[in-house]
Amino acid sequence: RSFASQTDGEARVTRVLREKFPRASAIKVVDISGGCGAMYEIHIESEDFREKRTVQQHQMVNQALSEEIKSMHGLRIFTSIPKP
């Protein structure tokens, strides 16, 4: 598949993250299960993570995706804070 088109699952997860993290400067969701929607890798850069430890940042993402996670086998989360 081309890099420009997202799978339905990628688009759905991206939409949920955009709603939950409106201040995010970058959100990238990649289905790393070959397109079946079982495992995703998420990169999210947001001011919401400032002053929070990595584990707290990941908990915020897990909470935002609590419904979607129920149908997943795995999730890789990478969070960051925008550089000044």
In the predicted model, is pLDDT for residue 77 greater than 80? Answer: yes
Task: Please give the model's pTM, rounded to 2 decimal places.
Answer: 0.88
Q: Which CATH number applies to 8-80: 3.30.1440.10, 1.10.10.10, 3.30.300.90, 3.30.870.10?
A: 3.30.300.90
Q: How confident is the model at residue 4 (pLDDT cuts 50, 70, 90)?
A: low
Q: How far is CA 12 from CA 8, 43, 68, 76, 81, in A?
A: 6, 15, 9, 16, 23
CA distance 23 to 71: 27
End-to-end CA separation in angstroms for the chain? 35
Domain boundaries of the chain, sorted by first residue = 8-80
pLDDT tens-digit series, residues 31-66: 999 878 899 999 999 999 999 999 999 999 999 999
pLDDT in tens, 11-23: 999 999 999 999 9
Query: Phi and psi dihedrals of 56, rounded to 5?
Result: -70, -40
β pairing state of 39-46 and 74-80 = parallel
